[in-house]
Chain A
Amino acid sequence: MQGQLIQHYGPTPVMDRMSKHGSKIAKVVMWPGFDLFARSGSMIGYEGLIEFDPQPPEVRRLASSWATGEGVPLMTARGQGLLYLADYGKDVIVMQLTPGEAVSVNGKNILAFDASLQWGIERVKGVTMLSGMGMFNVVIRNNTQGAGWVAMVSKGNPIMLDTREAPTFVDTDALVAFTEGLSIEKRRTAGFGSMFGRGSGESFQLGFHGQGFVVVQPSEDERPHFSVRG
Chain B
Amino acid sequence: MVTQFGRGQKSQLSAITQGTDLYIGIQVNAPGTSWDISCFGLDANDRLSDDRYFIFFNQPKSPEGSIQQLGAQSGDTESFRITLDAVPPSIHKLSFCAALDGAGSGSQITSGYFRIVVGGQEVMRYPFTGADFTSERAVMIGDVYRKGVWRVTANGQGFAGGLAELIRSFGGEVEDPAPAPPPAPAAGGFAPPPPPAGGFAPPPGGPAARPPAPAASQAPGYGQPPAPRPGYGQPPAAAAGAASPLVNLYKEPPPSQAQPVPPGAMASLTPYAENQAQGRWVQQNSKLVKVRLGEDALALRGSMVAYQGNIDFDYKSRGLRGMLEEKLTGQGLKLMTCKGQGEVFLAQDAADLHIVELGPGQKLCVNTKNVLAFDATITNEVKRIESAGIPGGGIFHFEMTGPGTIVVMTKGTPMTLPVQGPTFGDINALVAWTVGMRVSVSSQVRISRQVYHTASGESHNLQFQGMGGGHFIVVQPYEV
Whether a CB of chain B sits under 8 angstroms from the CB of A106 is no
Whether a CB of chain A sits under 8 angstroms from the CB of B89 is no
Q: How far is the CB of B439 from chain A (nearest CB, A)?
A: 33
B237 surroundings in chain A (CB, below 8 A): 2, 7-8
B285 surroundings in chain A (CB, below 8 A): 157, 159, 218
Whether a CB of chain B sits under 8 angstroms from the CB of A225 is no
Q: A23-B255, A161-B274, A200-B315 are in contact. Are A169 and B268 (CB under 8 A)?
A: no
Cα distance A10–B256 in the bound complex, in angstroms: 7
B265 touches A95 (CB 8 A): yes
A11 surroundings in chain B (CB, below 8 A): 230-231, 256
The residues of A with any CB-CB pair to B shorter than 8 Å are 2, 7-16, 18-23, 27, 93-98, 101, 103, 147, 150, 155-162, 165-171, 174, 179, 189-190, 193-194, 198-203, 205, 213-221
Cα distance A170–B265 in the bound complex, in angstroms: 19
Can you name 5 A-B residue pairings with CB atoms under 8 Å? A8-B237, A96-B268, A156-B350, A161-B306, A161-B345
Q: A93-B272, A157-B285, A159-B284 are in contact. Are A15 and B258 (CB under 8 A)?
A: yes
B306 touches A214 (CB 8 A): yes
Please tell me the size bucket of the interface on B.
35 or more
Q: A20-B259, A157-B287, A189-B313 are in contact. Are A215 and B301 (CB under 8 A)?
A: no
Q: Chain B: which residue is nearest A167 at the CB level?
A: B308
Q: Which 8 A-B pairs have the closest CB atoms?
A: A156-B350, A218-B347, A201-B302, A201-B301, A200-B336, A174-B305, A12-B258, A13-B230
Cα distance A204–B20 in the bound complex, in angstroms: 40
Cα distance A220–B12 in the bound complex, in angstroms: 26
Within 8 Å by CB of B306, from A171, A190, A198, A203, lies A171
Within 8 Å by CB of A160, from B260, B272, B303, B336, lies B272
Over the window 293-306 of chain B, the binary record of Cβ atoms lying under 8 Å from chain A Cβ atoms (1 yes, 0 no) is 00000000111111
B256 surroundings in chain A (CB, below 8 A): 8-12, 21-22
B301 surroundings in chain A (CB, below 8 A): 199-202
Cα distance A15–B244 in the bound complex, in angstroms: 26
B312 surroundings in chain A (CB, below 8 A): 189-190
Within 8 Å by CB of A218, from B260, B270, B287, B307, lies B287
Q: A159-B272, A166-B308, A189-B312 are in contact. Are A217 and B231 (CB under 8 A)?
A: no
Q: Chain A: which residue is nearest B266 at the CB level?
A: A213
A168 touches B259 (CB 8 A): no
Within 8 Å by CB of B347, from A14, A95, A156, A167, lies A156
